[in-house]
Structures are given as structure tokens and as C-alpha cells.
């Protein structure tokens, strides 16, 4: 069974520069839930990797994060979809942890827990730090233009030269499942 790694904010749900701090603020990007359902039905394992520094900043607590993820999972369930695991970093950049993207701690945790190398695994994000973490573990970076994706394109980072780019998660999944991308 193949694995796909997804960032949360800006890939699955609408993003906010003020953080997603409550279940009410969590709103799926059109087509994202259906895209995950399509991946599941095609035999892909889907995991979420997300920086959630709002916890470290005191904007919301872990219980609230759990409720946000519960809402996401209910939307997925209604569409016949699921994510296998949600890996999150609660730290701020000032904490200098190993799990906050672009560092690779969460990705290495996936390898350990799932017993699978991430070499070549598609990793979908909307920010430069998502792409940098993906490349650092040998995953194949995919940029979506939702969330902060357009800002990421404006960065003109050299990493973008080797990054697959799509309008949104649904268009990436459509291309992948149509056989126009090779699965890792």
C-alpha cells in the first residue's frame, strides 16, 4: 500500500495567518475531502503532518486541536475517507525543536511508526518549509497553490525547480490516479 503525506492547513483546509484556533474556523478546501477519499479508495495510506504553533503560542490547547481534528475526521468519514495518522508539532519557532517543519522530526517519526521509508513518497504542502522537510527525507515534494502556495511560488526558491506543482489537492490526486504521475 502506497503512502501519501499531506500538510493540513492550506492543503486540506483553508488556512489563516491568524491560525485555525477552533473547529468552527476549520473549513475544508473544496475538493480536498473528496481527493483523500479517492486516494483511500485507490489503496493509498494517508497521513497528515502539521505545524501547530498556535498551541505553543497559547492561542488554543491540545484539547481544542483534538476537536479540530475530530471535525476533519468527521468530514472525511462522511465522504468514505480517512487519514491513518495525524502527526503534529505544537512548538513555536523559538523552541528550536526537531519536529517543526522544515526540520524532519515528524517525518522520521512516520518512518519509525509505520516502518516505511519515505524515499520517493509524495508529500503535499503549501509552504516552503513543507517542501524543505520533504526533500530532506527523500520524499517527493508537491506544492499546491491553495493556502500559502502562491506566496511560496513568489519566493522563487531553487527547491521549486524540482517540485511538482498543482492548483489544489484534488488536481494532484486526479493526475496521480490517472496514471500521469508514477507512484513511488
Active site residues: 7, 9
**Prior bond to 102 cis, omega within 30?**
yes
Residue 36 class from Cβ within 10 Å (0-12 exposed, 13-18 middle, 19+ buried)? buried
Nearest to 13 by CA among 131, 182, 107, 148: 148
DSSP 174: H
Take residue 82 and report the three cell numbers written for it: 480517512
Least Cα distance to 82 among 95, 72, 96 occurs for: 72
**C-alpha atoms less than 13 angstroms from C-alpha of 110 in its C-beta half-sphere:** 29
| 110, three cell numbers | 512516520
116: cis peptide before it, omega within 30°?
Answer: no
| Cβ atoms of residues 37 and 76 within 8 Å | yes
Distance of CA 109 to the CA centre of its chain: 15
Amino acid at each position: 500500500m502506497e503512502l501519501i503525506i499531506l500538510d493540513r492547513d492550506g492543503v486540506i483546509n483553508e488556512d489563516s495567518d491568524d491560525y485555525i484556533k477552533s473547529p468552527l474556523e476549520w473549513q475544508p478546501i473544496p475538493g480536498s475531502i473528496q481527493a483523500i477519499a479517492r486516494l483511500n479508495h485507490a489503496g493509498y495510506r494517508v497521513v497528515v503532518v502539521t505545524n501547530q504553533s498556535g498551541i505553543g503560542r497559547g492561542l488554543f490547547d491540545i484539547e481544542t486541536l483534538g476537536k479540530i481534528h475530530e471535525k476533519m475526521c468527521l468530514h472525511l468519514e462522511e465522504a468514505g475517507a480517512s487519514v491513518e495518522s495525524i502527526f503534529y508539532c505544537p512548538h513555536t519557532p523559538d523552541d528550536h525543536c526537531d519536529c517543526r517543519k522544515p526540520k524532519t522530526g515528524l517525518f522520521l517519526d512516520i518512518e519509525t511508526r509505520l516502518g516505511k521509508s519515505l524515499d520517493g513518497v509524495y508529500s503535499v504542502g503549501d509552504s516552503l518549509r513543507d517542501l524543505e522537510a520533504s526533500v530532506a527525507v527523500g520524499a517527493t515534494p508537491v506544492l499546491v497553490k491553495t493556502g500559502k502556495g502562491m506566496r511560496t511560488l513568489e519566493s522563487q526558491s531553487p527547491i521549486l525547480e524540482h517540485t511538482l506543482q498543482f492548483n489544489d489537492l484534488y488536481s494532484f490526486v486526479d493526475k496521480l490516479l490517472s496514471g500521469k504521475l508514477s507512484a513511488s
